[in-house]
Amino acid sequence: MKIVSEQKETDPHQNIVEVAERLFSQIGFQKTTVADIARELRMSPANVYRFFSAKAEINEAVGRRLLTETEASLEAISTQPGSASEKLRSAIAALEKANAQRFVANRKLHELLETAFNENWPIVQDHSKKLNKVLTNIISEGNSAGEFHVSDCELAAILVRSACIRFCHPRLMVECAQEPEPTLDQMVDFCLVALG
């Protein structure tokens, strides 16, 4: 009987991102060098540069990966059964929870996203568009059900995200942590009244 060994194909691009994320979480994205990443992968820095033209691209790839996890959870919330009001509250709460958990569990990765938001990296612009799309879908659903009464769902989504920015932005979430109000529920209640 012939034993076939299964060799899992590896994606060098993905491997670089995974190793970079691990190193970023240990020593920080600013202190991690391409040489550090290459050493962990047992390859030369030149080989890493075959897949990423600059360290900034690796930073963005790790940040994109972190933001994609949050976007997936919001997408799942938007397709769950329930009222649009419940979904909107759950979506904003999920954003706050993702930021809070990252801040507590791994401040170095939180720092990466904070820098991305502060410097308005392209991944943040893309993330904002995806959040707006999810919120637009939830608000449109609420309009169709007669729960909300807005004439421009896309604008309403932008306004909701802007009103709740302290729960969605990594830096603001930390800065406002000691301020008791407005709470997430108070802010969402305010938005729901405006949408209704």
Return the domain boundaries, the chain.
65-195
Query: What would the pLDDT profile of 70-126 be if each residue is shown by its tens digit?
Result: 999 999 999 999 999 999 999 999 998 888 888 888 999 999 999 999 999 999 999
pLDDT score at 61? 97
Q: Does the domain at residues 65-195 carry the CATH identifier 1.10.730.10? A: no
pLDDT of residue 101: 87
d(CA 192, CA 139): 10
Question: 173, 103 in Cβ contact below 8 A?
Answer: yes
pLDDT along the chain (196 residues), means of 10: 40 94 95 96 94 96 94 94 95 90 89 94 94 96 95 95 88 78 90 92
As a whole number of angstroms, the distance between CA 185 and CA 40 comes to: 44
> What is the pLDDT, as a whole number, of residue 8?
37
pLDDT at residue 6 in the model = 32
Omega before 182 within 30 of 0, i.e. cis: yes
Alpha carbon separation from 48 to 13, 38, 41, 96, 121 (Å, rounded): 8, 6, 9, 34, 22
Give pLDDT, residue 10: 77
